[in-house]
Amino acid sequence: MGSHAPSAWAIVGFVVAMVGLPTGLVIVGVTPSAAKVRASSGPLVVGVLTSVHQDGMSKSGLPLLKYAVRFTVDGGPETDAQQVVGRGSEYFRMTDMDRLKPGTLVPVRYDPTNPTNALLALRADPKAVRQATNQYLLDSGRATSQDVHIRDNGVLATGVVLASHPTGRLVDEAAVVLTQVEVTCRDQTTFQVTTTQPVTQRGIPQTVPGSVVKVFYLPHDKQAAVVDFEPRPGS
């Protein structure tokens, strides 16, 4: 131990990422120090946490988690966008544990010269994370431009799920669910709205009748509404 005890950043681990290319599967590795220096200040995007688990190690009460996160980077005007899977390990605060579940959207920073070199960015600026989240939702098909407009400009209210029905469709690995919700406004008036939205596995329990959810709606058109079935980065 002593002088050999690794720092939290030093335990980030050997980051590897796999990108599907025409020539096959390429595995790229970078050292922890390089990952911190090059990726921690890189572009911010939002990706999907595909796996996370503890390996039994901890430091100062902080558990060491190994994770994999999938995200897409813009290839520029002459190159197609690339989907990247980054793998790493970091010590996380206990308060972060609920945010690190498979299927959860998480902010990611990456090295623009080597996008496979990436790190989670849980402390990024909330406004920037919201913008990156909106872009991910649009690009993945999980939300429309109207959905984003309602979430950014609508009124926040509380709703109770009255009924829900799976449609059998999937969008970006999220099940599309038709849900009827009773919404209570700030003045205690109520109205009902029906939405059809993609919901991840983590959010499915919130579609059960009786569940309390957040609802965003436009005051001049209350049927224009979006239901939050799960926390989103930057919210």
Task: Write out pLDDT tens, residues 20-37.
Answer: 323 222 223 333 555 566
Question: Using CA atoms, how far apart are residues 180 and 82, in angstroms rounded to an integer?
Answer: 37
How confident is the model at residue 75, as a pLDDT?
65
Res 128 pLDDT > 90: yes
Question: Using CA atoms, how far apart are residues 230 and 233, in angstroms rounded to an integer?
Answer: 10
Domain boundary among the residues 140, 168, 188 is at 140
Same-domain check for residues 19 and 134: yes
In a domain, 235, yes or no: no
Tell me the pLDDT of the chain averaged across its residues. 80
Encode pLDDT of 152-163 as tens digits: 999 999 999 999
Same-domain check for residues 56 and 172: no
The domain containing residue 115 runs over which residues? 2-140
- What is the reported pTM? 0.71
Same-domain check for residues 29 and 100: yes
Residue 158, exposed/middle/buried by CB under 10 A (0-12, 13-18, 19+)?
Answer: middle
- Lay out the sheet containing 105-111: strands in order across: 24-30, 15-21, 82-91, 62-73, 44-59, 105-111, 114-120
Res 15 pLDDT > 60: no
Question: Using CA atoms, how far apart are residues 68 and 50, in angstroms rounded to an integer?
Answer: 6
Same-domain check for residues 132 and 163: no
Question: Using CA atoms, how far apart are residues 227 and 214, in angstroms rounded to an integer?
Answer: 6
Same-domain check for residues 108 and 36: yes
Same-domain check for residues 85 and 152: no
Same-domain check for residues 111 and 204: no
Question: Using CA atoms, how far apart are residues 69 and 18, in angstroms rounded to an integer?
Answer: 11
In a domain, 64, yes or no: yes
Taking alpha carbons only, the member of 151, 141, 150 closest to residue 176 is 141
Residue 152: which H helix or E strand, with range?
A: helix 145-153
Taking alpha carbons only, the member of 108, 113, 61, 69 closest to residue 88 is 69
Number of domains in the chain: 2
The band of 78, judged by pLDDT with boundaries at 50, 70 and 90, is low
Same-domain check for residues 135 and 158: no
CATH number assigned to the domain comprising residue 169: 2.40.50
Domain boundary among the residues 78, 109, 140 is at 140
How confident is the model at residue 76, as a pLDDT?
63
How confident is the model at residue 35, as a pLDDT?
55
Same-domain check for residues 50 and 69: yes
Same-domain check for residues 217 and 172: yes
In a domain, 233, yes or no: no
In a domain, 234, yes or no: no
The tokens describing 108, both together, are 């990611």
Residue 178, exposed/middle/buried by CB under 10 A (0-12, 13-18, 19+)?
Answer: middle
Question: Using CA atoms, how far apart are residues 179 and 225, in angstroms rounded to an integer?
Answer: 12
In a domain, 28, yes or no: yes
Question: Using CA atoms, how far apart are residues 200 and 93, in angstroms rounded to an integer?
Answer: 24
Domain boundary among the residues 125, 140, 155 is at 140
Whether 107 and 7 have beta carbons less than 8 Å apart is answered as: no
Question: Using CA atoms, how far apart are residues 50 and 69, in angstroms rounded to an integer?
Answer: 5
Res 224 pLDDT > 80: yes
**Dihedral sign computed on CA atoms, order 168, 147, 200, 205:** negative
Same-domain check for residues 25 and 91: yes
Residue 111, phi then psi, degrees to nearest 5: -75, 115
Same-domain check for residues 54 and 123: yes
